[in-house]
Structure 1
Amino acid sequence: MLMQCRRGRGFTLVEMLVAMAVTLLMMVAVARAFAFVGSRIRESRGNVQLSNELRDISTRINDELTRCTVRLTPNLGEPDQAGYLLYAEGPVTDATSSLFRSVLNPDGSVEVPDSRYGDFDDYLAFTAIAPEGSWFSGKVPRFVLDRKSAEVTGTAYNATNYPGNQWEPVVIRSRYAEIVYFASPEYYNVLPDDANYLNYVDVDGDTDLGSGSAIENGFPDRMKIHRRVLLIRPDLNLTSGQLPIENRTVGSDTVRFMQADTWPNATTATVVSTAPVADGWAYGMAGVHQQCDLSLRRVLSANGIPTAAVAANSLADLSKPHNRFAHVRIPNSVLTGSGGVLPTSMPVLALSGPATILNTVAAATSSRLAPPLLPTTAPVVTPNALCGFLRREFVLGDNNTHLNPGTNWGSDRRGEDVITNNALSFDLKIYDPNVAHFATTTGLVVNPNDSGYRESILEALSTSTPPAHYGGFVDLCYPVLAGGSLRGWQSRSLDRSNLTAGATISGTGSYLATPFSGLTAFGNASQSYVNSLYRSGRLVTTNVNAIALFQPAFDTYTSWYENDGMRQERGSVTAEGTRWQSMTVPNADLGADGLDQPGIYSGGAAATATGEFGADDMGERETMPPFIDSPEAIQVSIRMENPTTRQMRQASVVHRD
């Protein structure tokens, strides 16, 4: 019997192509699934990393603030507290990125491409006590300890009699420290005499509205948050009351260790000879703050002039603003443009110019959103100097003016004070119980931290609608900050895309004159602010009613200026703001002589009225804290970004007494 063989049937070409297509689709689906899972894992890791970093920073700030040595109580004539707390407010706010970088689309919608940026130019400093068993640590040159040892033993100092290199950084500890937090941008790597020396890196290439061209967006491309811990060790001072000074020669250059620049101008005695001569008043203390981690001050002459000698602070010294980290006194020639050195300003922070975002103009009117100062009508400060980031010379390791890290100082310390590299904001706010929140017709409740506050307050005034409620955390002097939601009460463009200027805010005395708004009236630069701001010296006007200096701050302050034997007062009845006359004069301290004297601020230097409330009343004081109310709380917020995943997170700490 013959058996028939059956031949198996194979796949056709079409079937093979279909199978391959299905396989490819499955592979694509699997790849997309893996990509999706991988993306979620990266985002999850980025989120965890951000959360951990923010938690570490916020926990540290909260822990140190709870161990602050002073209460949130400004000094109004009482004995000084042991130490200080200072919160300084910059002109940038949370509303700046939305108002100053708004983009109007052709369909009428508005975009805010840089709204991720918050308030980043604030400053926090205070004194703290370390917990038992975990004292603060820092570095000093070995010769500081050796010179003190030689003095204690009554022997002449000779570096060869002590082990080790006299310039070697030695770690020491302290129970008390001056702690400083501030944000700083990445700068162009240029020499100090270059025009771009204080300009931050801003090359992100955003597209300008209408022109289609790539421009700088006015915000730093990268910001860091710094923490300096400066040990309080007055026991290291010699019997002369100051720290020892030593010359270190490297090649043809000589660096004076533990000596500040000559005030008011620097000399080559403290500057590497190849570097340009600097302004000693502006950052003359930066060199010694690079050379050690001590809380230091300039030693004053008998008539109050800063000298080049430096001394280690005590807690009592730090209650006085002129003894604190990065505080300077501005010579009169710089402050007002005429006169010479005397009088100087009161102590203020050594800040650079404002963030360039504040130069933004309105699309239609080409007028600046941070309005220029008009001598008789505009109480809003023109941001032009001493109101930006802390000068880069005070950033650890970034001080080419005085020494070359790695050559004249030894090990490169750049980055030692950095606690995060990817910050978007470092924002401080103070609790104001009287600040008004308004409900808009769309159902939103708006406060001064929101970009629509100007519009909401105008709406409430036009409809006679009372505030929805009162109280909240706000920026100091929130109605007049150059980057704020209000920017004064005059007519303003609401934002960059607004085609017409907004209306003038009027009749707002009960709304804007709050405990921490800094306002008492709505007139010109010499009459609108609270008296304490003028007397603190943080708000100074010229004889033509223009603001020459404005650094709003909450400061626990001091009564020392009322008993120092020197005259601090305003220059004339037409120039508001306390100056430091820097000279001893008979009967200088009118507020502490036990007599009922004319109030030096009630009528200027030629006041004839007697004191209003008896001997040594507030009207007789030469100085006052910038704000005299004790706040319920201060809030510290940090916003960070993961540059890889573009995720953002924010954490806040609230400090109460």
Structure 2
Amino acid sequence: TVVELLIAMAITLLMMAGVVNLFANMSAGVRDRRAMIELGGQLRAAREQLNRDLAGATCPAITWQKPGENVGYIEIIEGVRNDFDPTTLTLDSTTLVPSSQITTDASGNALPPDGLGLGDFDDILALTVRSSGEPFVGQKPNGDKIESELAEVIWFAVEEDGTNAGEEAGMRRIYRRTLLIAPWVNISLADSADPEAYYLLSDISAHWVADTSAPNGVGYWKPNTLGDLTKRENRCYRYPLSVYPHPMYYPQYLAGARLGQDLMLNDALAFDVRVYDPGAPLFEKSGAVLQPGDRGWNFGSNSGLTPVSYGAFVDLKWNGQWQGMRLDPSGTLTFQQSWASAANEPRTLFAGVPDFRSLLDYSTSTAPSQPTTTNGTSVIWPAVVYDTWSEHYEKDGIDQDNDGLVDEGTNGFDDLEIDPNNPTGPRIIANGVDDVAERETSPPYDVPLRGIQVKLRVYEREARQVREATVVRSFVP
């Protein structure tokens, strides 16, 4: 009958729809798995490259390096963004950024909705590296290829809109810029003092030498040695006429015909560089162990709990006025972290402000020094720095602290020095000739760096999944 035919046709259509849906689901599953395999491969490649760079670091992670020893440098810049406050935006539910749907932190403070997939991204890692395998390859300003076993390597991340203002609701991109250390190369063709223009054309680490007798009447770019790079003023992305402490302007990725050559990861959520602090407290709360940087650690540090252990990878200045604040959705700075160690507890190395003599500190009353704009005139955002530093600042004949005396830490006299009980007050006579307190300058943190941790977090758009890789490297001899 007609009714039976219609029923049979309906059943056939339902079966066909089921088969189509089955194949669609299988196809989507294969697509997602393939996408995650590709993402996993990219993440592993970036992780292994970063691990090789850290393993090949030429500089011991201790301060007061001597340029004559030709060891290079290690520099870490901790930007203003962090996992508490990854963006200035309040992201709505339509964003592609994955969310844990948590609306408040452990202290009850409102969190930006749908923003928790984003993380700390504005850190910079720069160091000199010796390749243990294939040499580094780059190009001269004229386009010729060159190889070297030594390079200045810079890891950094950029928001997709290229501004790094913390106002990008989308993803970030992680870059690795490699500048070859090749002091034997002639780069006289690069006669512009603009570092931005130079580094877009050249992969050779160099610094500008002002010389009116040069053919162009201005100066020339001189390739760096490892000893040159121990000095902050000679490192990459420095304004040629900068003054102490020679701030870095934010690294630039390659553009034009070379666009993408230095790109390591697309669709990144976080690039977080942390240092090991043996005095960082860990708290146990509701079965979870929290460390500085974890959501909820603030609650533990303010609730009278006793630390269950010490030692963690943390952001620079993890307990200070700056890292301890976050901008809530209303635009109000809310204090997040507070910890005061007792006399019998381990000393914290990176909890507080950097030494003010470095001029690389940041507080509510002191302007930060880097990152800066390309011309060195404006600061992009507050930053905290770890630097292996150079001893030559104490022997260069320049009055860095503007007290009318020159190189008082190495002049053979018992000069006035900083009062440890009143660092910003009148100076005193103490501790004999040329002691450490007499020095004009200081590394931001005058302590060895025992270890470093870098987190790479990425997002797969099609599969809508997050993957994270962590690189840990010890610098203990």
TM-score (norm 2): 0.82
How far apart are the structure 1 equivalents of 2:117 and 2:31? 21
Determine what percentage of the aligned residue pairs are the same residue: 29
- Say if 2:418 and 2:427, in contact at 8 Å, map to a contact too: no
Task: Look up the match of 1:439.
Answer: 284
Task: Look up the match of 2:191.
Answer: 258
Structure of greater Rg:
1
> Post-superposition shift, 1:176?
1.0
Which segment drifts farther, 417-426 or 220-229? 220-229
1:427 to 259, 272, 284: 272
Counterparts of 1:23-38 in structure 2, within 5 Å, are 23-38=12-27
Unaligned runs of 5+ in 2: 94-100, 105-110, 213-217, 370-381
2:360 to 506, 513, 538: 538
Task: Look up the match of 2:127.
Answer: 126
> Post-superposition shift, 1:631?
2.6
1:515 to 349, 360, 363: 349
- Say if 1:330 and 1:345, in contact at 8 Å, map to a contact too: no
**Judging changes above 3 Å, is the alpha-carbon distance between structure 1 residues 565 and 41 closer, same or farther for their aligned structure 2 residues?**
same
How far apart are the structure 2 equivalents of 1:541 and 1:221? 30
**Judging changes above 3 Å, is the alpha-carbon distance between structure 1 residues 478 and 230 closer, same or farther for their aligned structure 2 residues?**
same
> Post-superposition shift, 1:643?
2.1
> Post-superposition shift, 1:504?
9.7
Q: Deviations over 1:243-290 (max 9, x none)?
A: 52x5xxxxxxxxxx3321xxxxxxxxxxxxxxxxxxxxxxx3111111
How far apart are the structure 2 equivalents of 1:592 and 1:467? 42
1:417 to 253, 262, 266: 262
Q: Deviations over 1:16-45 (max 9, x none)?
A: 222122222212221221122112111211
Task: Look up the match of 1:595.
Answer: 413
Task: Look up the match of 2:378.
Answer: none
Counterparts of 1:374-523 in structure 2, within 5 Å, are 390=251, 394-397=252-255, 405=256, 412-440=257-285, 442-459=286-303, 461=304, 465-480=305-320, 482=322, 484=323, 486-487=324-325, 496=329, 514-517=348-351, 519=352
Q: Does 1:51 align with 2:40?
A: yes
Counterparts of 1:605-624 in structure 2, within 5 Å, are 609-610=428-429, 612-624=430-442
Q: Does 1:69 align with 2:18?
A: no
TM-score (norm 1): 0.61
Q: Which amino acid aligns with 2:437?
A: G
Task: Look up the match of 1:176.
Answer: 150
Task: Look up the match of 1:299.
Answer: 209
- Say if 1:435 and 1:471, in contact at 8 Å, map to a contact too: yes
Counterparts of 1:139-158 in structure 2, within 5 Å, are 139-142=139-142
How far apart are the structure 2 equivalents of 1:98 and 1:288? 31
Task: Look up the match of 1:151.
Answer: none
Aligned-partner SS, 1:567: coil
1:93 to 68, 76, 82: 82
Q: Which amino acid aligns with 1:439?
A: E
Aligned-partner SS, 1:22: helix
Aligned-partner SS, 1:416: coil
> Post-superposition shift, 1:470?
1.5
Q: Which amino acid aligns with 1:535?
A: R
2:161 to 187, 191, 204: 187
Task: Look up the match of 2:468.
Answer: 650
Q: Deviations over 1:582-607 (max 9, x none)?
A: xxx8x611111222222167789996
**Judging changes above 3 Å, is the alpha-carbon distance between structure 1 residues 232 and 48 closer, same or farther for their aligned structure 2 residues?**
same
Q: Deviations over 1:414-446 (max 9, x none)?
A: 222112222111110111111112223x33332
Unaligned runs of 5+ in 1: 1-11, 143-168, 189-197, 201-216, 238-242, 247-256, 261-283, 332-343, 352-389, 398-404, 406-411, 520-528, 573-584
Give the aligned length.
442
Task: Look up the match of 1:225.
Answer: 174
